[in-house]
Amino acid sequence: MRRLRNVKIVATLGPASNDYEMIKRLHEAGADVFRLNMSHGGHDEIRERHRIIREIERELESPIAILADLQGPKLRVGVFANEEEELVEGQKFRFDLDETAGTNARVCLPHPEIFKALEDGTTLLVNDGKIRLKVETCGADFADCIVTAGGAISNRKGVNVPEVVLPLAALSEKDRADLEFVCQLGVDWIALSFVQRAADVEEAKALIDGRAAVLSKIEKPTAVTSFDEILAVSDGIMVARGDLGVELPVQNVPPIQKRLVRRCRAAAKPVIVATQMLESMIESPMPTRAEVSDVATAIYEGADAIMLSAESAAGQYPVEAVSTMNNVAVEVESDPTYREIIEASRVVKRESVADGIVAAAREIAESTDIKAICCFTQSGTTALLTARERPRVPIIALTSLRGTARRLALSWGTNCIMTGELERFKQAVVNAARAAQSAGYATAADQIVVTAGVPFNVPGTTNILRVAPCDQSLIFASDPE
């Protein structure tokens, strides 16, 4: 299914998008990737959504990526005798391990790992940062705090500790069970929550064992600090701005977003910008002007994908939300300023033969009348390197591996087409010409750029570039063997 844009759209599935017809409508409206949120819904429900997506994929002959988003450890306070208490600025408040119902003076915080990491002066945030407390004294089983920003605190509200690396694994027992379930199910991407260090990603990758690509969610200040190390061991990144905005001053989030997107592009790894992009469309058929500008900003920055959460999972207008994102993307990418920004931010990288091949492909395509860049790829690396160049012409990624085609559905500008295994380069050129024409990217009178690696079907061997006519008789005439 050909899109008229390069940025991809991720749509979260939920109660509002739970059946065949709605999920199909979301894909036709523009959703390239479907996110399964493991925080909501049991395994049977997740299995059924997965089955529906694969059925739609077969019907429409359009590779669709499925992203399973693990919940991660949840840090929450215990319960209160009155269910809710009002904390006021300047008052004392204690967190401890006593499971007795809480009062206006204390509550259980059933996470001894937090107490181990606390120091005097550490900030604790409760209820998405609405309540702020500063630790005055602490021990192995308590923290005496002073309230610096008051508000209502109630049963099982979330707790954030932004200033320290917590001695907690990114994978809870639930996450480990969910991870094995979705790997057996056959998802394409797995998103890791609560990533603090590269070791968190490496632990998950060892369990996944190549069955899915790994996407690290950057939602903690410690992950921003260790970003280069995390990026090096991740297959992709999600900039989870909601949690970042809780643990960091909100004004810090936009420049962090820009930096992370650029680093991901330089590393040729997909990056999703997520959280509250069109949040008003949960209840309104129209977004706010600020939300539209936010979506446009992520596209101008060169993000590979933009994501809908509750808008498509639980909102009243899921299809309209996807259509709005699609329309904004088409409009932004047709703006001459977009191309100027994308090209000004291009990172020149010439560390391998493959880097040189994809850079040459882009330059040839942009200096002559070339309709598309066709790259043959097994692991997906060649297509990712081509996408890093952000060429002006479409990228057609041809692969014999359905898993590779699905994973590339998350990558900027890649249009994935299945092809058989190849033995000779001429066969690759013929297949590329057929694919470009059948998908509507070129006619028999046009030319394309073809990149591939010889020997075929070996990852990491991109070493050939050819400008080829789409007319197959001309291909055979120029290369009869």
| Residue numbers annotated as active site | 35, 76, 217, 275
CA distance 157 to 155: 6
Residue burial 364-395, b: 16+ Cβ < 10 Å; e: rest: bbeeeebbbbbbbbbebbbbbbbbbbbbebbb
Hunting for tokens 């890093």 — which residue is that?
A: 388
- Phi, then psi, of 150 in degrees rounded to 5: -85, 180
Strand 395-399 and strand 370-376: the pairing is: parallel
State the CB neighbour count (10 A cutoff) for residue 130: 14
Q: What is the largest CA-CA distance in the chain?
A: 86
Closest CA to 299 of 271, 267, 322, 320: 271
Q: Which two tokens stand for residue 108?
A: 């259980």
DSSP letters, 165-190, are --S--S--HHHHHHHHHHHHHT-SEE
DSSP letters, 84-129, are EEEE-TT-EEEEES--SPB-SSEEE---HHHHHH--TT-EEEETTT
- With vertex at residue 263, the alpha carbon angle to CA 203 and CA 244, rounded to the nearest 5 degrees, is 65
- Residue 34, C-beta contacts closer than 8 angstroms, at least 6 positions apart: 10, 11, 12, 13, 23, 26, 27, 49, 53, 64, 65, 66, 67
Hunting for tokens 């707790």 — which residue is that?
A: 159
CA distance 460 to 278: 39
**For residue 280, what is the DSSP state?**
G
